Structure 1
Amino acid sequence: MFVTICFVSLLRLALAAKDVSPRLPIYDGQCDPPFQPIQGSKCYFLSYSTFKGSWQTAQQLCRLSHPKAYLAEFQDLEELIDATLFLSNDDHECRSWSSPGPWIGGMEIGDSNTFTWASTNSTIQNFNWAEGRPNSASSNDGIALDCSMECE
């Protein structure tokens, strides 16, 4: 089971937010392969066409790929916009996305519909949830980005 956020609406927000700009530029040598640099001094490895599996598998793959790697966690809207622009850079229509989309580092506490970032255990607040979300009937759900228009 997974919980989704509406990726397309966030993309529109990012493209419409003319006053919001990335915080730090990309520089040579910023990231070790296979990671790619994005604005804001982060390094991402997007594996949606390489590996598929559960949230736990995705977190393990991150840890195996680099000693300091973990699923993406967003501390503010700017980080979420930076990641959104990175994810949609070559695929604005989301044709290459499978379901669920890329896992991110949020995890539900039991069956509470309260989510925390896995690396810090800090509660996820003011997140860009799709309307009516989170509302899972199961427990310990991970969060996957959803690139569809419907966000079901």
Structure 2
Amino acid sequence: MTSPTTPLAPDVQPADGYAGDISPEQAWAWVQSGEAVLVDVRTDAERAWVGFVPGAHALAWKQWPGMAMNPGFDVGIQALGAGGKKLVLLCRSGVRSIAAAQRATELGLLAYNILEGFEGDPNEQAHRGLKGGWRYRGLPWQQN
């Protein structure tokens, strides 16, 4: 979590309750450099049907069906952040990953939200993947 006296890196947007918001490109750069661990907080169904980032750690914030809280989230995120690396959290559109980043921060971890998420915001026809997001930005992903 940042405070008024803690300067943010130039590519980090300030946020309440977690380390900050970063672009998909910044998150990927941190992951490639070994500075951060990429955590996909989407459901197993989303990753299977829509696609996933190779090498990302799958740890659902909420579980399908019903979108109930994942009772294993706290233990899982603590294990992923145990080495002290930054955690960069990815969901569909950058909303659930905010809640997950806030919780990770409450647990004493350094967590960032990836803006736009995996699919980005819906366009005028309510289609995702055409207006921002990990896939739209051309970052690595696969589909089953």
Taking structure 2 as the reference length, what is the TM-score of the superposition? Answer: 0.31
Question: Which structure has more RCO (C-alpha within 8 Å, separation ≥ 6)?
Answer: 1
Taking structure 1 as the reference length, what is the TM-score of the superposition? Answer: 0.30
